Amino acid sequence: MTHEQYDLVVLGAGPGGSRAALLAAQAGMTTALVEQDDLGGTCLNWGCIPTKMLLGATASKPLLDIQRKQKSATGEINFSLNALQQKKDRFIKGSRQALGKQLKQAGITVLTGTGSLAGPHELEVATAEGSQSVTFKKLIIATGSTPASFPGLQADGDCVLDSSHILSLTEAPESLIIVGGGAIGLEIGDLFSRFGTQITIVEALPHLAPSEDADIGEALQKALKREGWTIHTGKRVSSLVTESGNAKLTFEDGTEITAAKALMAAGRVPASTTLQLDKAGVQITSRGWIVTDNQLRAAGNIFAIGDVNGRTLLAHAAGHQARYVVSVISGKYEEDYLPPAMPSCVYGHMEVMRAGATAKELLESGLDVFVSRAALIANPIAQSYGTTQGFVKAVWIKKEESFELRGMAATGHGVSHLIGAATIMVEQRWQQKNIHDIIYAHPTLDEALEAALSAPLEAL
Amino acid sequence: MTHEQYDLVVLGAGPGGSRAALLAAQAGMTTALVEQDDLGGTCLNWGCIPTKMLLGATASKPLLDIQRKQKSATGEINFSLNALQQKKDRFIKGSRQALGKQLKQAGITVLTGTGSLAGPHELEVATAEGSQSVTFKKLIIATGSTPASFPGLQADGDCVLDSSHILSLTEAPESLIIVGGGAIGLEIGDLFSRFGTQITIVEALPHLAPSEDADIGEALQKALKREGWTIHTGKRVSSLVTESGNAKLTFEDGTEITAAKALMAAGRVPASTTLQLDKAGVQITSRGWIVTDNQLRAAGNIFAIGDVNGRTLLAHAAGHQARYVVSVISGKYEEDYLPPAMPSCVYGHMEVMRAGATAKELLESGLDVFVSRAALIANPIAQSYGTTQGFVKAVWIKKEESFELRGMAATGHGVSHLIGAATIMVEQRWQQKNIHDIIYAHPTLDEALEAALSAPLEAL
């Protein structure tokens, strides 16, 4: 058993952990990064990046279908899911190697194995060569999350799949049931619909994109229904199993549906169970998320960032928390963690974007909330693609005599392109007088932001 | 001869003139708008909008070609230029009608005819029904610009076309010579290349996109060359004529090239010649651009906005000037006109975007200029589309101990989507400490902005 000592050990090499290790090494700390699986974590290997690789490569398909429907184009194209998977795998492998090289060049020790706490300054790493003990002055836990499964609703790798399984398929199923109408379910549904798969999506909450306001979710739903999706919302599932070579879903009301395959994409759970957190006094919630204080501290010298602390399950949130915690550890910063306006996107043909708060969240905080909206049908870029469904929305709160921007959201084709400008506007809490501080290029989809900001306010 | 009197007359119903008329009517002025041709001007009828309608509808073609080249897709698609033209024409007609309705609802009198000054408060309008005199307290001239032509290089509507002609073709020519490597030439070339037209582009200045920095123009050029374009830069043309059913271009060095059609897209000239400007003391430059003071005033009660004043030949610049002049006229504002950071885009498969100044402009002003760059190949969204050529660039000036952002530019697929965020950053003159004031969503092309802003600075 070897023994090593570090200024900082980081547990988990996803977007949060890798970033933290790199920043710490830059700041002069001796740093080790412990990862039991592939460098890059869920985001690079089984999440954001593989989905985007497949969506990006096939982005022409739905655009072309619109033109065919409008009799502006003829002909047929066929994508090879097998070829796309190979290309995607090569890209991910290359990215992993590039990350490994970057970590090495930064002088970071990468330990491949499963880490668990042995005490407040000690980690046991179970590697292929045996157990190794590492001690640390500070520890950052960035172990992320895994797909949720429930009794009777468990991916079996046969007909009931999780997102890792489905992102490896080399042939598209004829039909697919998706349990969960959040980002993962929506993106995978969009992807397979491009290969002719008949999509059925099931969401227990009242609308798809359940973390968004209802108007966004409902507009998205309407567009997907027009594209031929079967949508069940507000319906709870009691079981999802492989039966006679098909996936069979049973709702709580007893009705059943079947499809060639099913995807479990109903939430994620923290990867915290094997960490022996009690050995260092780290607390978790009843669902396993690591409890952190206002500085993302889980115990005296231990911090938790990214999915595993349950604050915001987004890769860029983890990266931002990494930057903050390394600043705190290196003594450069001591303020509480206060994240800037959070951006999030659902990608695909019909997209969803949001920066900052939903109207619902603000209403629940007891604020005086107003919204203004602009339909994409009035935007010439949306018109040019023939993708005119959806809208952009600004969410304001009344502050004395003026209104302050607290959120922007949109659904429609290409709306993820608006996230950068919207994030800045919301972070800076623009007022109406700021709208014309900049010139909006004509014609751009950005003009839909301008239109939403300038539209009449409606009190909620 | 009827006689009408208005608080404000606006000459020209393009994006500048229409906006000015609408804002003035909103502010309570009696307003007339004089237009000799179609409402909406060049932008709506023969410029930005028709080009974008055709580019948007066919956007899937180059994306699909990439996948075919990479063996991820098979099959063939064919767009019908005829069908697309009909769709485009319907959209433009509908937009014109919508604009007409909006003007009417705002209480604006629209006069169809050619206006010319009869004195400092009087305009003669030659209409189909005869001449009409209108008097005004204030006049805004927003007559725009027309394609330039030179002796021996004139569109003849046969094989030598201008942008209006070419945007009406219902069949793509086998080959096309484009004279002028600016936005119009690049967009039209991209469009017709999607229909199999062999593109040759000729630019007198040293690189394509001649108003951009050389690194942008050269990267664009490299990408277009790979797509099969023939590119002649730094070569002057002596004649371009229809000969034996073909377009024949002769360079000043005597060499000749021919193609089925040619497009003259080498600059634009002000639409100021028939206005009788001297009758109201309005001055023009030797090339015909209306001279305006710091408040865009051309004479005591007469203002000029948009292309015709020669400041910035972009639709959104005209709209911004309209807003400013109406504020001045209505007494709400009296500061000099100081436009915010100007955005501009060249659309298509390979795009160009810029917000604010080029490095060249800043160097010529004697400033201490630095640039930082990030290649798109490192961006996962660029990777997902297989469109990894190009880069994003930040242009800084040194100010005391820090650096201030004065421009951002990019070339590559989808870079027009970055213009909104880039415009705000440049307008706000971000410093390096501002880069992480916001969270950049992962994965987005926006991360290429972040990467360019964070890259090492290079002194010019």
In the structure encoding, which two tokens stand for residue B100, read together? Answer: 């007409």
- The residues of B annotated with a catalytic role in the active site are 442
d(CA A362, CA A364): 5
Say whether residue B72 is in contact with chain A using an 8 A CB cutoff.
yes
| Contact state of A439 with B316 under an 8 Å Cβ cutoff | yes
Return the residue in A18, A442, A445, A450 with the most chain B beta carbons within 10 A, the one to mutate for interface testing: A442
Place of tokens 């430059």: B285
Q: How large is the average pLDDT for residues A413-417?
A: 98
Say whether residue B36 is in contact with chain A using an 8 A CB cutoff.
no
Active site residue A442: yes
pLDDT digits (tens, 9 = 90+) for B105-143: 999 999 999 999 999 999 999 999 999 999 999 999 999
CB burial of residue A324 (10 Å; 0-12, 13-18, 19+): buried
* pLDDT bracket for residue B275 (50, 70, 90): very high
Q: How large is the average pLDDT for residues A362-372?
A: 97
| Contact state of B419 with A444 under an 8 Å Cβ cutoff | yes
Q: Any alpha helices (H) in B195-291, and if so which ranges?
A: 214-226
Q: What is the pLDDT of residue A4?
A: 78
* Cis omega (within 30 of 0) for bond into A443: yes
Q: What is the pLDDT of residue A152?
A: 87
pLDDT digits (tens, 9 = 90+) for B171-181: 999 999 999 99
**Residues A319 and A17 sit within 8 Å (Cβ to Cβ):** no
**Residues A385 and B57 sit within 8 Å (Cβ to Cβ):** yes
Eight-class DSSP state of A284: B
Q: Give the pairing type, strands A3-11 and A130-141.
A: parallel
Please calculate the CA angle B409-B415-B416 and round it to the nearest 5 degrees: 90
Q: Where in chain A is the domain with CATH 3.50.50.60?
A: 3-147+270-329, 160-266
* Alpha-carbon torsion (B397, B399, B402, B405), positive or negative: negative
Place of tokens 């990215």: A95
Please calculate the CA angle A366-A371-A372 and round it to the nearest 5 degrees: 170
Residues with Cβ within 8 Å of residue A185, at least 6 apart in sequence: A178, A179, A201, A203, A263, A265, A266
Q: What is the pLDDT of residue B152?
A: 87
Check pLDDT > 60 for residue B2.
Answer: no
Phi, psi (rounded to 5 degrees) for B341: -50, 125
- A59 to chain B: which residues are within 8 Å by CB? 60, 63, 385
| Contact state of A381 with B52 under an 8 Å Cβ cutoff | yes
**Residues B63 and B385 sit within 8 Å (Cβ to Cβ):** yes
Say whether residue B435 is in contact with chain A using an 8 A CB cutoff.
no
Cβ count near A195 (within 10 Å): 20
3-state helix, strand, coil in chain B (%, to 5): 35, 30, 35
Scanning B324-343 for CB atoms below 8 A from A yields: 339-343
Check pLDDT > 80 for residue B3.
Answer: no
Q: What is the pLDDT of residue A2?
A: 53
Q: Give the H/E segment covering residue B100.
A: helix B81-105
Say whether residue B78 is in contact with chain A using an 8 A CB cutoff.
yes
Domain B343-459 adopts which CATH fold?
Enolase-like; domain 1 (3.30.390)
> What is the number of CB-based contacts under 8 A between chain A and chain B?
226
CB burial of residue A125 (10 Å; 0-12, 13-18, 19+): buried
* pLDDT bracket for residue A1 (50, 70, 90): very low
Per the rule left: phi > 0, alpha: psi between -120 and 50, beta: everything else, A253 is alpha
Q: What is the pLDDT of residue B78?
A: 93
Q: What is the pLDDT of residue A3?
A: 61
Closest C-alpha to A325, from A23, A2, A69, A56:
A23
In the structure encoding, which two tokens stand for residue A429, read together? Answer: 């809490």
Q: What is the pLDDT of residue B1?
A: 45
Return the residue in B438, B440, B449 with the most chain A beta carbons within 10 A, the one to mutate for interface testing: B438
* pLDDT bracket for residue B401 (50, 70, 90): confident
| Contact state of A64 with B80 under an 8 Å Cβ cutoff | no
Phi, psi (rounded to 5 degrees) for A22: -65, -45
> Pick from B52, B80, B414: which is nearest to A73 by CB?
B80
Check pLDDT > 90 for residue A235.
Answer: yes
Domain B160-266 adopts which CATH fold?
FAD/NAD(P)-binding domain (3.50.50)
pLDDT digits (tens, 9 = 90+) for B226-261: 999 999 999 999 999 999 999 999 999 999 999 999
Residues with Cβ within 8 Å of residue B175, at least 6 apart in sequence: B197, B198, B199, B200, B259, B260, B261
pLDDT digits (tens, 9 = 90+) for A311-359: 999 999 999 999 999 999 999 999 999 999 999 999 999 999 999 999 9
- A64 to chain B: which residues are within 8 Å by CB? 60, 64, 77
pLDDT digits (tens, 9 = 90+) for A419-439: 999 999 999 999 999 999 999
**Residues B22 and B32 sit within 8 Å (Cβ to Cβ):** no
Say whether residue A55 is in contact with chain B using an 8 A CB cutoff.
yes
Say whether residue B442 is in contact with chain A using an 8 A CB cutoff.
yes
Please calculate the CA angle A118-A124-A126 and round it to the nearest 5 degrees: 145
| Contact state of A339 with B439 under an 8 Å Cβ cutoff | yes
Q: Where in chain A is the domain with CATH 3.30.390.30?
A: 343-459
CA A421 to chain B, closest CA, distance in angstroms equals 4
CA B31 to chain A, closest CA, distance in angstroms equals 23
Check pLDDT > 80 for residue A100.
Answer: yes
Average of per-residue pLDDT values in chain A:
96
Domain B3-147+270-329: give its CATH code. 3.50.50.60
Check pLDDT > 50 for residue B98.
Answer: yes
High-pLDDT (> 90) share of chain B, %: 95
**Residues A182 and A211 sit within 8 Å (Cβ to Cβ):** yes
Scanning B290-319 for CB atoms below 8 A from A yields: 314-317, 319
Eight-class DSSP state of B193: H
> Pick from B60, B427, B446: which is nearest to A419 by CB?
B446
